[in-house]
Chain A
Amino acid sequence: MDNFTRISTFKKAIRSKAFPLLILFVIMIVLFTALAPLNDANFLTTRTFISILRDLSVPGFLAIGAGCLMVSGGIDLSQATVAAMTGVTIAVSVGWWNLPWYAAVIIALLIALCIGLVNAILVNELNMMPFIATMAMSTVTRAVMMLIATDQTGQMQGSINYNNPTLTLIGNYEIGGFLPATIIAMIIAFIFYGLLLSKTKFGRSVYLIGGNPMAARLAGINSKKTSYILFMNCSLMGGLAGLIYTSRVKQGSLSAMATDQFTGLTAAILGGISFGGGSGGMGGAFIGLLVIKTFNKGMTIIGASSYVTNVLSGALLLAALSFDYYSQRRQRKRIGA
């Protein structure tokens, strides 16, 4: 045998964990299209899909940051809180302190980066478990956020309104009057991080560290540096998500994106980024998100109650995870690992 080749891209795509999701996505489209008329609605329209993608852009940034970190074997439970913190910081800076919008954005994103830095220090220098360290940071961040949101009368505000046309434009600008710019930004970010993970030196070390940190270290890979970058990037992505969100709703809210806390993580896991690290990628995370958001949208269109939707989306997640565990166990058995 002389020609050692690669497994073809097509075969790889079919074998990937995201592939069953893609099938599920198609099935959902067919089902919702068939069921929508019963509720006097239409599912298969451009508007539906633009709306799905628009819903997806905020959690999309969360999933990018969380996903990259998880490939390296880390996890960040403070990300959604960082997003809320960013919104509150921007709202307070602009609404109460009358800072220019760009200064507010810079301050807020710097704070996000700092929180990521602290997470990285806790994990790398104090050897804390990422799960615990970031959960603690989440609590601290939430408390600081409440302090910031306390006005001169000593009253904590649940949400802070502001009025700044430029800032509002960031999350609401629509190209040609119909295509939200945030969708484009999200897609560019997914492509950028997708290439970063799959094609670059940095990306390859992320996978190797996630696959076996000890072997990576003994092979001379600087896992500490990578970890710092990934934690800070994860927070920064949380910050960007928070920026888009606050711009969209024109206020900073303490409870912003509380429900998105796990959407990013869920999507990443659905798409094949395992908790242990070392596998999956941006494509999978995107498809994971797409499935979740399409499901939610479809259920709204066919007129299902939000409770039913929640129950079913939970069941969907459980089913996907069970399938994942099952196929992994089979693979391990086959190899005898």
Chain B
Amino acid sequence: MEQYLELSGISKAFPGVQALKDVGFRATGGKVLALLGENGAGKSTLLKILSGDIKPDEGKIVLNGRELSFRSPHDALKSGISVIYQERQLMSAMSVMENIFAGDIPVKNGIVDYKTLKRETKKIIDQFGLPIDPETPVMFLSIAHQQMVEIMKAYRRDSLVIAFDEPTAPLTDTEIEILFNLIRRLKEQGKIILYVSHRLKEIFEVTDEIVVLKDGRFVTHVNTAETNEQDLIKYMVGRDIGDTYANLSRNDKHGDVLLEVNNLTTYAVHDVSFSLRKGEVLGFAGLVGAGRTEVMRAIFGADPIISGEIKLEGKKVEFKTPKDAIDAGIALCPEDRKEQGLVLWRSIEDNIIMPFLDKVRKWPFLDFKKSERVTIEAIKKYDIKTPTIDKIVVELSGGNQQKVILGRWTSSLVNTKLLILDEPTKGIDVGTKAEIYQMVCDLAKEGLGVIFISSELTEVINVADRIIVMKDGTITGEVLREEATEEKVLALAMASN
């Protein structure tokens, strides 16, 4: 009998986002199936549903004719599905054997039977032909071997389905080879293998079939042997560009050079150079982890700079802390607005005046009249939906939260010259996204230089005047909006070096 895993009609909505909509496909035993898609296409959500981490709103998971429903990750494991995440889920201080048998440690008379444990672990390790000692604590192993331990864990549980989430991201070339051999071995044993990766080269090397997702929807299911890179990129990108962008009123008057970054190197990025004019919107594209956020954090004084120089309005600047950068007129709306941008359980007012407490003072106290005025200005300017100025921001929707941050950096308290927006539309509904695009263009018209980081290609190539593409901490190319296509940008973002 053929082993198979069939998903049908899987949908999942998060507040403000439809992460998956009616996704279905069938994976068969003895084959490796790749899940491919842009950031936010829904791959991770799908894996989390498979691992029992989150519950789908709708849809069926069928394994060999049996419909499965999970109340917890434990249920998924029991049903024979193991998901191996990028962040390894090992107990790092415990030995290899304890990790592999976690949850099923052999016991004799109520005491751990280390002899059996070691013997059984050795058997598995030998089957995989790995040079790993069962008694070594996992933290002393290389990243690759830690990953092998995860795989052996899945193998030991006799999981029929093994899903890999970007497994090669932390591995070196030789380590990748070891991993691929292992995957091929699992394949021979008839396992159903799901493989999520951004790296097209690997997908051609190790997978048999490819399912492409886009914006949470199923696009196509092809045989790896019958497709090529260009087609895949088209599948990942292919979509009509809505009116959203056509109606944008952009700023085409660019002024003097505002920001100049020369050969910037930090622990995460290497030799990054670019410049930005006043009134210009400069897009930064790339895959998650390409180093875009790190460049901005370095400019903003939040991360140390190893070498290189930054010039603001022609003058060399060195910011030791974010405060220095703010004082010089730089504003950063961080990538993760809930973790880094806002103090969620404080009021809209507090979140807006936060960086400028010095400017709302009437000795010895704060000037509450002034801070009220500033807050109301921002609420009106950006049409933030709230009944009072001291509503706590955790109660606002994602879009309104983002508007609070925009309001903070563009209030009358501050003379912001450079506005850095890191994934400003992440987790925001389509309507508010369009509002934010227009706000970005309006701010550019006011003469601000705007840096617009986004992992959504359509968005970045349509909002920005110029797009810089990064990969693995370096700039791989620069494209003007007029000549930018998603294929071109994606090719740069995934370029093999």
Binding partners A and B = yes
- A interface residues (Cβ-Cβ under 8 A, vs B): 1, 4-7, 195, 199-201, 204-205, 207-208, 211-212, 214-222, 278-279, 335-337
- Residues in A whose Cβ lies below 8 Å from that of B345: 211, 278-279
- Residues in B whose Cβ lies below 8 Å from that of A1: 387
Nearest CB of chain A from residue B336's CB, rounded to whole Å? 9
- Residues in A whose Cβ lies below 8 Å from that of B27: none
- B interface residues (Cβ-Cβ under 8 A, vs A): 15, 300, 302, 321-323, 325-327, 332, 334, 339-346, 350, 353-355, 357-358, 361, 364-366, 372, 375-376, 379, 386-391, 394-395, 408
Q: Quick one: closest B residue to A12, CB to CB?
A: B390
- Residues in B whose Cβ lies below 8 Å from that of A218: 300, 302, 322, 332, 334, 340-341
Extra pairs beyond A215-B342, A216-B354, A218-B341 (13, CB < 8 Å): A4-B376, A4-B389, A5-B388, A6-B389, A204-B366, A214-B339, A215-B339, A215-B354, A216-B343, A217-B302, A220-B321, A220-B323, A278-B343
A337 touches B344 (CB 8 A): yes
- CA–CA, A208 to B395, complex, Å? 17
Q: A6-B372, A199-B366, A219-B355 are in contact. Are A207 and B339 (CB under 8 A)?
A: no
Quick one: which of A200, A211, A220, A222 contacts B365, CB cutoff 8 A? A200
Nearest CB of chain B from residue A115's CB, rounded to whole Å? 28
Quick one: which of B339, B358, B386, B394 contacts A201, CB cutoff 8 A? B358
B394 touches A337 (CB 8 A): yes
Q: Quick one: closest A residue to B353, CB to CB?
A: A204
- Residues in B whose Cβ lies below 8 Å from that of A219: 322, 326, 354-355, 408
- Residues in A whose Cβ lies below 8 Å from that of B334: 215, 218
A221 touches B358 (CB 8 A): no
- CA–CA, A142 to B391, complex, Å? 46
Nearest CB of chain A from residue B55's CB, rounded to whole Å? 15
- Residues in B whose Cβ lies below 8 Å from that of A208: 343, 346, 350, 354
Nearest CB of chain B from residue A181's CB, rounded to whole Å? 26
Nearest CB of chain B from residue A50's CB, rounded to whole Å? 32
Nearest CB of chain A from residue B301's CB, rounded to whole Å? 9
- Residues in B whose Cβ lies below 8 Å from that of A207: 343, 346, 350
A220 touches B326 (CB 8 A): yes
- CA–CA, A20 to B368, complex, Å? 28
Q: Give 7 closest A-B pairs by Cβ, nearest first.
A: A220-B323, A211-B343, A219-B355, A199-B365, A220-B326, A212-B343, A201-B357
- Residues in A whose Cβ lies below 8 Å from that of B357: 201, 204-205, 221
Among B15, B332, B354, B391, the one with the most A-chain Cβ atoms within 10 Å of its Cβ is B354
- Residues in A whose Cβ lies below 8 Å from that of B391: 7
Nearest CB of chain B from residue A2's CB, rounded to whole Å? 8
- CA–CA, A214 to B303, complex, Å? 13
Quick one: which of A200, A212, A214, A220 contacts B355, CB cutoff 8 A? A220
- CA–CA, A204 to B346, complex, Å? 10
- CA–CA, A1 to B387, complex, Å? 8
B366 touches A200 (CB 8 A): yes
- CA–CA, A335 to B372, complex, Å? 25
- Residues in B whose Cβ lies below 8 Å from that of A4: 375-376, 379, 386-389
Q: Quick one: closest A residue to B367, CB to CB?
A: A201
B344 touches A212 (CB 8 A): yes
Q: A200-B366, A208-B343, A218-B302 are in contact. Are A6 and B390 (CB under 8 A)?
A: yes
- Residues in A whose Cβ lies below 8 Å from that of B332: 218
- CA–CA, A153 to B349, complex, Å? 63
- CA–CA, A279 to B327, complex, Å? 28
- Residues in A whose Cβ lies below 8 Å from that of B344: 211-212, 337
Q: Quick one: closest B residue to A211, CB to CB?
A: B343
Quick one: which of B343, B376, B379 contacts A215, CB cutoff 8 A? B343
B390 touches A7 (CB 8 A): yes
Nearest CB of chain B from residue A18's CB, rounded to whole Å? 17
- Residues in A whose Cβ lies below 8 Å from that of B340: 212, 214-215, 218
- CA–CA, A222 to B357, complex, Å? 12
Q: List 28 A-B contacts (CB under 8 A).
A: A4-B376, A6-B372, A7-B388, A7-B391, A199-B366, A200-B365, A200-B366, A204-B366, A207-B346, A207-B350, A208-B346, A211-B343, A211-B344, A211-B346, A215-B340, A215-B342, A218-B300, A218-B322, A218-B332, A218-B334, A218-B340, A218-B341, A219-B408, A220-B321, A221-B354, A221-B355, A278-B345, A337-B344
Among A200, A205, A212, the one with the most B-chain Cβ atoms within 10 Å of its Cβ is A212
Q: Quick one: closest B residue to A209, CB to CB?
A: B343
- Residues in B whose Cβ lies below 8 Å from that of A201: 357-358, 361, 366
- CA–CA, A174 to B242, complex, Å? 79
- Residues in B whose Cβ lies below 8 Å from that of A221: 323, 354-355, 357
- Residues in B whose Cβ lies below 8 Å from that of A220: 321-323, 325-327, 355
A335 touches B341 (CB 8 A): no
- Residues in B whose Cβ lies below 8 Å from that of A214: 339-340
Q: Quick one: closest B residue to A1, CB to CB?
A: B387
Quick one: which of A5, A222, A335 contacts B323, CB cutoff 8 A? A222
- Residues in A whose Cβ lies below 8 Å from that of B358: 201
- Residues in B whose Cβ lies below 8 Å from that of A337: 344, 394
Nearest CB of chain B from residue A131's CB, rounded to whole Å? 21
- CA–CA, A218 to B319, complex, Å? 13
- Residues in A whose Cβ lies below 8 Å from that of B15: 336
Nearest CB of chain B from residue A196's CB, rounded to whole Å? 9
Q: Quick one: closest B residue to A196, CB to CB?
A: B364
- Residues in B whose Cβ lies below 8 Å from that of A195: 365
- CA–CA, A239 to B361, complex, Å? 32
- Residues in B whose Cβ lies below 8 Å from that of A204: 350, 353, 357, 366
B388 touches A6 (CB 8 A): yes
Q: Quick one: closest B residue to A199, CB to CB?
A: B365
Nearest CB of chain B from residue A225's CB, rounded to whole Å? 11
Nearest CB of chain B from residue A235's CB, rounded to whole Å? 24
Nearest CB of chain A from residue B211's CB, rounded to whole Å? 30
- CA–CA, A216 to B344, complex, Å? 11
A335 touches B388 (CB 8 A): no
Nearest CB of chain A from residue B57's CB, rounded to whole Å? 14
Q: Quick one: closest A residue to B326, CB to CB?
A: A220
Nearest CB of chain A from residue B434's CB, rounded to whole Å? 22
- Residues in A whose Cβ lies below 8 Å from that of B361: 201
Nearest CB of chain A from residue B410's CB, rounded to whole Å? 14
Q: Quick one: closest A residue to B375, CB to CB?
A: A4
- CA–CA, A212 to B338, complex, Å? 9
Nearest CB of chain A from residue B422's CB, rounded to whole Å? 11
Among A211, A215, A216, the one with the most B-chain Cβ atoms within 10 Å of its Cβ is A215
- CA–CA, A221 to B357, complex, Å? 9
- Residues in B whose Cβ lies below 8 Å from that of A6: 372, 388-390
- CA–CA, A159 to B15, complex, Å? 63
- CA–CA, A219 to B325, complex, Å? 10
Nearest CB of chain B from residue A148's CB, rounded to whole Å? 39
Among B321, B346, B376, B386, the one with the most A-chain Cβ atoms within 10 Å of its Cβ is B346
Q: Quick one: closest A residue to B336, CB to CB?
A: A214
Q: Quick one: closest A residue to B327, CB to CB?
A: A220
- CA–CA, A211 to B342, complex, Å? 9
- Residues in B whose Cβ lies below 8 Å from that of A211: 343-346
- CA–CA, A245 to B366, complex, Å? 36
Among B300, B322, B361, B387, the one with the most A-chain Cβ atoms within 10 Å of its Cβ is B322
- Residues in B whose Cβ lies below 8 Å from that of A205: 357
Nearest CB of chain A from residue B167's CB, rounded to whole Å? 29
A217 touches B388 (CB 8 A): no
- Residues in A whose Cβ lies below 8 Å from that of B390: 6-7
- CA–CA, A5 to B349, complex, Å? 11
Q: A200-B366, A204-B357, A220-B326 are in contact. Are A212 and B350 (CB under 8 A)?
A: no
